[in-house]
Structure 1
Amino acid sequence: MLKLSQLSDILELQHKCEQHDGITLKLNWDILRHRSPGIQEDFFGYEDGKLVSFLALYGFGRNIEVCGMTDPQYRQQGRFSQLWEQAVQSPAIKRMNRILFNTPHRSVTGQQWVHNRHAKLDSTEYSMKLEHGEHSLLGQSAGTEIAQLRQFQEEDTDLWARLDADAFGIPEFSTIAALANPSRSLTKVMLVIEHGGLAVGKIEIDRQDEHSWIYGFVVDPVLRGHGIGRSALRQVALQEHARGSHVWLDVSATNPRALHLYESCGFVQQDIQDYYEYELPQTSNDLSNMK
């Protein structure tokens, strides 16, 4: 588990890098704040007591995502590469099937670092923010909704796991293990979507200061296209806006149906995240084991 001083250092460095580069770093703060003890997943580079480089590993099912940053004044010195050399020795890396580098599309140094490792573009994701506009959910009054929302309960675990597996390819056992983790985030709001008295979907909210991130949003495939998802999204957006929060979400560029839904609700693209698949070079031990 990370110390409060480390979290503060990460946040300060993130703000500095984002302002300098005009980007948004996806550091998954809900995960950072609630790391499980035992396996090192965060790597720090300090200079005279100041954090100048940071790299984090995030496990999602059998994939592991890599994200990080270096203070603009300390770049081109190999500092991030030094952290990566430490990270590749971590059991967190070695037990995963795929490694994905998460890099802001507009990050010149980040893109250069990834390309120098001959990683291949796997997918692209848009970060979208809910804005005021003619069709925005913010201009709509709450009326009779066809979706009802309630808090997640332990008996919803199997539903949660099934929906995550269907929509995001996360193995059910991984979701079940994550839900059983006692350090599960207190900033995370987990809601079950109901329709006609039946649980038919899920939606989660991660509250980060004045920002609310919607994610894990799924409606059962057989009930999509009937307005249930839009109804649930509208309720969550109005609820978070009423709290004084800016409402955000991420959507894959290869999911035109979801992208159209979010755009029609008033979400506007703000940033782009690129995911690159990276294959670790095989060591002599790996090659001998294959013989």
Structure 2
Amino acid sequence: MLTKEQLLAIKDLKAICESKEKYELKLNFDMLESRKGDFQEDYFHYEDGQLVGFLGSYGFGNKVEICGMVHPDFRRKGFFSMLFEACVKDLNARNIESLLLNAPADSASAKSFLKSIPCTYYMTEYQMKWQAIEMNVDPTVIIRPSLSTEDFEAEVQLDIQAFGFKEEEARHYNEILRENSQEQRFIITVDGETAGKMRVAEANNEAWIYGFAIFPALQGNGIGRKALSCIVNNMNQKGLSIYLEVEAKNHHALRLYEACGFRSYHSQDYYDYHLTNERTQPNG
């Protein structure tokens, strides 16, 4: 488990790095604050007692995402490569199959490091904010809380079919969400049948929508747009600013969200690094 001092040092370093390059780092503080200490997931580098490098890993079943940073005054010294190599060694020892590197799309230092290692572009995740437009709510699409065993199974299948999870990691991920997350989990239904899901986190006068998915067999029928219109209308009535975090492998996938009034203001690029078939070690 991370100490309060470690969490504060990470937040301070994050603020310094973001101020320097004008981007946002996705360090998943909700996960950092709930570490169980079963194995090493966080890597630190200090100079004269000051935290100057940090890398965090975030497990989703047999898939891991990592994001990290180095103080602007301490770059080009190999510190991030050192942290990365230590993390990769541990992940290989745990037989983790898939590693995704998360980098702000506008980070020049991240792009420079990525060129030094064997990885390939995987997808982009967008943070979007709703710009007030008139929303037409269709009563045939209903959003209700996820409560039952059947709802849990639907969430697992949606992660498998819509996001490419393996069944084991989808179950593990959804169990963690149910046990630890403060987010509200919703099931989307049409004519009484489950069509999709989403999660909503409300805090600080903001509502964040995550994990939005419609079963592939039902996509293209307007369900997604109607579901988004419904939840946005509900959050807007509460007077909340509404945000959406969504992954897309091409810009065409953003049209649904833009049609509902969302506009992208920040993006994170993800790169696939194959742990089970390593070719070279990083040299940056």
For the residues of structure 1 that align with 2:34 and 2:241, how far apart are their CA atoms?
Answer: 22
For the residues of structure 1 that align with 2:179 and 2:92, how far apart are their CA atoms?
Answer: 19
* Deviation by residue 1:25-63 (Cα, 9 ceiling, x = unmatched): 222334333333301111122344433221111223433
What's the counterpart of residue 104 of structure 1? 104
Structure 2 residue matching 1:259: 3-state secondary structure: helix
The question of whether the paired residues in 2 share the 8 Å contact of 1:219 and 1:229 is answered with yes
What's the counterpart of residue 217 of structure 1? 212
Q: Is 1:247 equivalent to 2:229 in the alignment?
A: no
What's the counterpart of residue 151 of structure 1? 145
Structure 1 residue matching 2:140: 3-state secondary structure: coil
The question of whether the paired residues in 1 share the 8 Å contact of 2:97 and 2:274 is answered with no
Answer with 62-71 or 222-231: which moved more. Answer: 222-231
Match for residue 199 of structure 2 among 193, 200, 204:
204
Count of paired positions: 276
2:67 corresponds to which letter in structure 1? Answer: C
The question of whether the paired residues in 2 share the 8 Å contact of 1:167 and 1:218 is answered with yes
**Deviation for aligned residue 1:255:** 6.5
**Deviation for aligned residue 1:115:** 0.7
For the residues of structure 1 that align with 2:40 and 2:226, how far apart are their CA atoms?
Answer: 41
The question of whether the paired residues in 2 share the 8 Å contact of 1:30 and 1:188 is answered with no
The question of whether the paired residues in 2 share the 8 Å contact of 1:189 and 1:204 is answered with yes
Q: Is 1:54 equivalent to 2:54 in the alignment?
A: yes
The structure-2 alpha-carbon separation of the partners of 1:79 and 1:262, relative to structure 1 and needing over 3 Å to count, comes to same
Q: Identify unmatched segments of 5+ residues in structure 1.
A: 284-291
For the residues of structure 2 that align with 1:40 and 1:99, how far apart are their CA atoms?
Answer: 15
Structure 2 residue matching 1:37: 3-state secondary structure: coil
2:180 corresponds to which letter in structure 1? Answer: S
Q: Is 1:67 equivalent to 2:67 in the alignment?
A: yes
What's the counterpart of residue 232 of structure 2? 237
Structure 1 residue matching 2:43: 3-state secondary structure: strand
What's the counterpart of residue 257 of structure 2? 262
What's the counterpart of residue 169 of structure 2? 174
Q: Is 1:275 equivalent to 2:270 in the alignment?
A: yes
The structure-2 alpha-carbon separation of the partners of 1:17 and 1:203, relative to structure 1 and needing over 3 Å to count, comes to same
For the residues of structure 2 that align with 1:18 and 1:6, how far apart are their CA atoms?
Answer: 18
The structure-2 alpha-carbon separation of the partners of 1:251 and 1:88, relative to structure 1 and needing over 3 Å to count, comes to closer
Structure 2 residue matching 1:100: 3-state secondary structure: strand
The question of whether the paired residues in 1 share the 8 Å contact of 2:187 and 2:194 is answered with yes
Alignment of 1:66-85 (within 5 A): 66-85=66-85
Answer with 69-78 or 155-164: which moved more. Answer: 69-78
Q: When the two structures are superposed, what TM-score results if normalisation uses the length of structure 2?
A: 0.84
For the residues of structure 1 that align with 2:138 and 2:53, how far apart are their CA atoms?
Answer: 50
1:79 corresponds to which letter in structure 2? Answer: F
Q: Identify unmatched segments of 5+ residues in structure 2.
A: none
The structure-2 alpha-carbon separation of the partners of 1:111 and 1:143, relative to structure 1 and needing over 3 Å to count, comes to closer
What's the counterpart of residue 28 of structure 2? 28
Structure 1 residue matching 2:44: 3-state secondary structure: strand
For the residues of structure 2 that align with 1:84 and 1:32, how far apart are their CA atoms?
Answer: 18
The question of whether the paired residues in 2 share the 8 Å contact of 1:129 and 1:246 is answered with yes
**Deviation for aligned residue 1:184:** 3.1
Task: Work out the percentage of aligned pairs sharing the same amino acid.
Answer: 34
For the residues of structure 2 that align with 1:209 and 1:50, how far apart are their CA atoms?
Answer: 31
**Deviation for aligned residue 1:97:** 1.8
The question of whether the paired residues in 1 share the 8 Å contact of 2:156 and 2:174 is answered with no
For the residues of structure 2 that align with 1:186 and 1:89, how far apart are their CA atoms?
Answer: 29
The question of whether the paired residues in 2 share the 8 Å contact of 1:100 and 1:277 is answered with yes
* Deviation by residue 1:258-283 (Cα, 9 ceiling, x = unmatched): 31101111111222322222245469
* Deviation by residue 1:38-95 (Cα, 9 ceiling, x = unmatched): 0111112234443322111122343322211122222222222221122122147742
1:249 corresponds to which letter in structure 2? Answer: E
The question of whether the paired residues in 1 share the 8 Å contact of 2:118 and 2:279 is answered with no
After superposing on structure 2, the runs of 4+ consecutive aligned residues of structure 1 that deviate more than 6 Å are none
